[in-house]
Homo-oligomer: A and B are copies of this chain.
Amino acid sequence: MRCCECGFRPRRSICSPHASDPNPPLDSSKPRARGSAQLARWARARRIRSGRMPSTKMQTQAEVEAQQFSEGVAAASDGVSDGESDDEDGGVGGKCVYMVSDGTGWTAEHAVHAALGQFEHCLVDQRCSVDTHLFSQINEVERLMEIIRQAAQEEALVFFTLADPQMAEAAKQACEMLHVPHINILGPITDALHSHLGVSPSGLPRGAPGRPSTLSKQYFKRIEAVEFTIKQDDGALPKNLIQADIVLVGVSRTSKTPLSTYMAQKGYKVANVPLVLGIDPPKELFQVDQDKVYALTINPVFLKSIRLARSRTLGMGPNSRTTYSDMEHISKELEYSRKLFLQNARWPVVEVTGKAIEETAAVILRIFHERRSKNHMPRISRRY
């Protein structure tokens, strides 16, 4: 593990002189000669643009997709879920981003992940890379200060979601003192709600004593939805389709299962029915309210690649592969599903090719709420 002060920023390293000192001074022993955090950011940006990072010119969409796709399929075929988590990757560290929370930290993670999507043109081909570090349940000023000192050493950008106003203020002051660029993610949102509701925020992080329990109606609804969805997966118990809020229909590898559990986490009871060539779907599929059935479709070339990867992961022999991932078979199966979808005109046909689970879920839930609320402008409404 190399020291952070040498200029090379390794991942997950703690400089031992600082780490071993329980109370090092806030104004680090080697203060940087910079006027302000803003100036430091500009200087850093200039430094990077002037050569420390390769050109950021856009690849063509085709180049990017081809690369992404082959990477994804290769990853799937290599059995990526072998227990290796991303933080086990070796290699030179990327730009460092810290997320610090006195709660779970999931809000910071979600927002930063979404914002990083704006830099995919650079991240996907690893012309630049980013290492994020999420520190959750940071409820003591001492630990907060230690993290910010470490952020200064690693030249990290710090995002924080600290509900406790004293902790948020301490983080701000320490970051300013050490010239660490920082953003309070929840602060402006909470302030705006404060003005809007005319009620002061509690200042208590999630799970803190004194904060009301979150085990509300919504909580139980969500647990029941998850349990229902798991039991219904892959066409199991078709007699229960009537209890589902949403029924997904599609051939194998159209993301039915991950889509179902994703929406179940949001409180929807989702069932899915696989379409298999030569096997009729259960009669219940046509007996339930047809407004809750959603048909999934996918590009055949894309499907073939996914199925090939899947066959390898499952260790299928060459004969099984022929049936499952053979182009002729795939075309026939998709043609069969297309015909079925045409015969059932109430089912919206949702294209999943190249979409992340969240994107397909957004499309389905938008239609779901549109059909229920008959709003002029489709929206997903919720009462708190």
Contact = CB atoms under 8 A, between A and B. Distances in A.
Interface string A206-224: 1101111111111111111
Interface in A60-79: 61, 64-65, 68-69, 71-73, 75-76, 79
A324 to B, nearest CB: 16
Given A224-B313, A257-B226, A372-B88, A212 B68 contact: yes
A370 to B, nearest CB: 11
8 contacts: A64-B212, A64-B213, A80-B217, A81-B228, A131-B381, A133-B381, A134-B380, A137-B362
Copies per complex?
A: 2
A230 B233 contact: yes
Interface in A168-222: 181, 183, 185-186, 188-190, 192-204, 206-207, 209-222
Contacts of A203: 118
A124 interface: yes
A243 B121 CA distance: 34
Interface in A119-140: 119-124, 128-137
A129 B378 CA distance: 22
A142 B106 CA distance: 33
Given A53-B198, A81-B220, A130-B197, 7 more contacts: A87-B372, A95-B197, A106-B110, A122-B197, A147-B377, A206-B358, A227-B258
A11 interface: yes
A366 interface: yes
A326 interface: no
Contact of A143 (B193, B372, B377): B377
A97 interface: yes
Contacts of A147: 377
A248 interface: no
A22 to B, nearest CB: 12
A333 interface: no
Contacts of A41: 192, 195-196
A96 B170 CA distance: 32
B19 A136 contact: no
A199 B119 CA distance: 7
A201 B123 CA distance: 11
A116 B218 CA distance: 14
A69 B130 contact: no
Nearest to A59: B212
Contacts of A46: 198
Nearest to A302: B215
- Contact-residue size bin, chain A (C-beta under 8 Å from the other chain): 35 or more
A69 B103 CA distance: 22
Contacts of A347: none
Contact of A14 (B194, B227, B377): B377
B376 A14 contact: yes
Contacts of A103: 114, 359, 362
A110 B114 CA distance: 11
B75 A202 contact: no
Given A80-B224, A354-B213, A359-B207, A381 B11 contact: yes
A14 B255 contact: no
A85 B217 CA distance: 11
A77 B190 CA distance: 34
A339 interface: no
Contact of A261 (B71, B106, B265): B265
Contacts of A214: 117, 120, 356
Given A193-B118, A377-B14, A136 B362 contact: yes
A19 B376 CA distance: 8
